[in-house]
Amino acid sequence: MAISKPKPKVTKATSSQTITAKGSTNSGSAGRKRSASRKSTTLTTAPDQRSIGGETHQRSTAETQILTTAQGVQVTDGQNSLKVGDRGPVTLSDFQLREKIFHFDHERIPERVVHARGYGAHGYFESYGGAEDLSCADVLARAGERTPAFVRFSTVAGSQGSADLARDVRGFAVKLYTKEGNWDIVGNNIPVFFIQDAIKFPDLIHAAKSEPDRGFPQAATAHDNFWDFASLMPEATHMLMWAMSDRTIPRSFRFMEGFGVHTFRMVNSSGESHFVKFHWKPKSGLQSVLWPEAVAINGADPDFHRRDLWNAIGAGDFPEWELGVQVFNDEWANTFDFDVLDPTKLIPEELLPVRPLGRLVLDRVVDNFFAETEQVAFCTQNIVRGIDFSNDPLLAGRNFSYLDTQLKRLGSPNFTHLPINAPKCPFANFQQDGHMAVTYRTGQTNYEPNSREGDERGPRETLVKGFAECPAAENGPQRRARPELFADHFSQARQFLLSQEPLERAHMADAFVFELSKVQTEAVRLRMVSNLRNVDETFAASVATGLGITQLPHASIPAATINTQLPSVPSLSIMSNPPADFAGRRVGVLVANGTPADVLARLLEQLASARVTVECVAPSINGIVDSNGKPIEVAHAVSGAPSVLFDAIAVLAGTEQSPIDAATKDWIRDAHTHCKVIGHINAAAVLFEAAGVQPDAGYVLLDRKSSGFVARCAAGREWSRDESATRHPTLMADRR
């Protein structure tokens, strides 16, 4: 076979015909921006060169790395494939083109079958110590000791590219890289789950995701399949009440709780075991957005939650949660109204307080989304000495599923070799080979027991700190069955509903009405209402009215007697437990030419000292000057940053805004409708009139002396404007 002559190197870019494009607007800025806020950037003056075909070549300098192939061959021309002549054909011998496209073609890995959309960050867990009576877990042993952590928050139903503010349960998965192995607590922001047995999980998820024939709706349960399934599964009712509450439209990851959901065990050094339920409590408190806001945020900034986390960490405002446990034993479990192995039930904190164990702080964003957030592999079965499982049948299924799914997703049993998944403590075993093995043992021995000496012996078992399963005595006939106590599907659903403030109940009713109004099959809508009658008649009737159902269907027949006497649990309500302050929030300030400089300065100063982010919004991002003629730093054009992106607004513009455009009117009207606190100067009256809003108790006059704006924001929204209340008068009148 003839060997083709070596082709002359493509040297166009270095030929005398190249044109230097000094001052080109190319984006080769060094360093990474850590925040989405606007920064002034220097236009590059790198020695870019343009060749006769017009393409730009950026050559390495003493400061830059040299571009190479994956095999390390230095690249001369990264812009052109190898051709015969200038106009082709392209030759097959272009190994650089082949390698680059090959790698690109294989960039995607399967997205998670659930929780595909998520966002992660690094941090640490700091133990409070003093938990020896409960657990011998090393991570809890020493007060003040910090253990590296990685957390991934997620939605459940949507694909990786779906929007952050879908009405959905949020995943709250924590990996603690302890000195005795990785411990994963793979929880949610809701303490209960839809189903009681893992065998129903594929059905639940099939029903919740897009319908298979049409491939929509995306990231939404507002469709026939979900409600058909849910209405036939009364065990889901409790979780449905949570799912239709404001919990599923959180303000951000920073303002939501996390729960381990299942009952776990903690085991102390004497081998004594207690049951525990895990809780993560956000230091910033609980907050949610309103449904119309969520819908608008999804359009204006589908990355709202991940951007919020990125920006908060970038600004040094590190999100923090406290880890706590509810602790109980068999005797207590036997006195509880429900089965502690039933994941559709919770234990009210008022009955069993949460005992704090330590705090989790997120202080570092990822360096690479794919390498960390995407490749992190949480597994419920990753537990450490001092922690153990209970017999919750849902947990058992999860313990199989998570390991299994990593093989599909990451493609190799060696996913534990990836830096984000590898333990940060010493580890050694005789596992070997497999796709993409990165860490491996040297030497001849790959089995145990062995009779080798020295290093050749390899690792050995230990009785000192080895993992010891809790010696639970299991016994009984093999059966496919559920315990009798699991059959109470409605009592806690009702307890959750009645623990909410009336307005929260109205929001829940609105959510049911919205979701069910998207269901085309009338029988499904009726079946769901008949289940709701077992939760609460007033609530069911309000939902039915919203759906235009004039004749209420019979209540469905409950599988067990409903306990209507369970006490209210105030800790379950967001509105009853507002955050202590307004820290960590975001205020949008509408400015225009002539905005009073002193008022603006005072507002910015007050918000900064309250640790509130402020962004100025104006008709255009350039050229806006205050009353002193000084330029105002404007972050967004009004049309690019609707007021749904802010927790509160201030209107420091007025008469100079002429004509008043639709975006400005919407900006104000939306904030008003969404019950936001609105700070303003007197001149803003003209804008309020144009927007058709009537100032009320949620409006705060700002001048150069005023100080009440932040306090008013901290006191919460102006709920008197909430239209949900007018849609559900019976719920609002119900003070149970």
Q: Which residues of this chain interact with ligand HDE, rule CB under 6 A?
A: 112-115, 118, 152, 154, 171, 173, 186-188, 193, 198, 201, 261, 343, 378, 394, 397-398, 401-402, 405
Residue of 57, 80, 122, 188 marked active site: 188
- In the complex, least distance from residue 597 CB atom to ligand HDE, rounded to whole angstroms: 47
Q: What is the DSSP string of 424-482?
A: SS--------STT--S---SS--SSS----GGGG-----SSS-----------------
- In the complex, least distance from residue 208 CB atom to ligand HDE, rounded to whole angstroms: 12
| Beta carbon nearer to ligand HDE, 201 or 336 | 201
Single-letter residue type at 718: E
- In the complex, least distance from residue 383 CB atom to ligand HDE, rounded to whole angstroms: 14
**H or E stretch covering 204:** helix 201-208
Q: Which residues of 436-453 are buried (b: 16+ CB within 10 A; e: fewer)?
A: eeeeeeeeeeeeeeeeee
DSSP conformation class of 631: B
- In the complex, least distance from residue 109 CB atom to ligand HDE, rounded to whole angstroms: 11
Classify strands 636-637 and 613-618 as parallel, antiparallel or unpaired: parallel
Residue of 57, 115, 122, 680 marked active site: 115
| Beta carbon nearer to ligand HDE, 80 or 154 | 154
| d(C-alpha 387, C-alpha 153), whole Å | 23
Catalytic residue list contains 368: no
Q: Which residues of 187-207 are buried (b: 16+ CB within 10 A; e: fewer)?
A: bbbbbbbbbbbbebbeebeeb
Backbone angles phi and psi of 349, in degrees to 5: -60, -30
Q: Which residue is nearest to ligand HDE (CB)?
A: 171
Cis peptide before 191 (omega within 30 of 0): no
- In the complex, least distance from residue 186 CB atom to ligand HDE, rounded to whole angstroms: 5
Catalytic residue list contains 446: no
Q: Tokens in use for 682? A: 């007197």
CB-based contacts of 469-472 (< 8 A; 24+ apart in sequence): 469/388, 470/265, 470/267, 470/271, 470/273, 470/388, 471/271, 472/273, 472/391
| Beta carbon nearer to ligand HDE, 297 or 394 | 394
| Beta carbon nearer to ligand HDE, 396 or 597 | 396
| Beta carbon nearer to ligand HDE, 139 or 394 | 394
| Beta carbon nearer to ligand HDE, 195 or 653 | 195
Cα 16-19-21 angle, rounded to 5 deg = 150
DSSP conformation class of 568: P
Please, what is the end-to-end C-alpha distance for the chain in angstroms? 90
Backbone angles phi and psi of 673, in degrees to 5: -60, -35
Burial of 580 (0-12, 13-18, 19+ CB in 10 A): exposed
| Beta carbon nearer to ligand HDE, 129 or 397 | 397
- In the complex, least distance from residue 179 CB atom to ligand HDE, rounded to whole angstroms: 23
- In the complex, least distance from residue 34 CB atom to ligand HDE, rounded to whole angstroms: 23
- Annotated catalytic residues are 115, 188
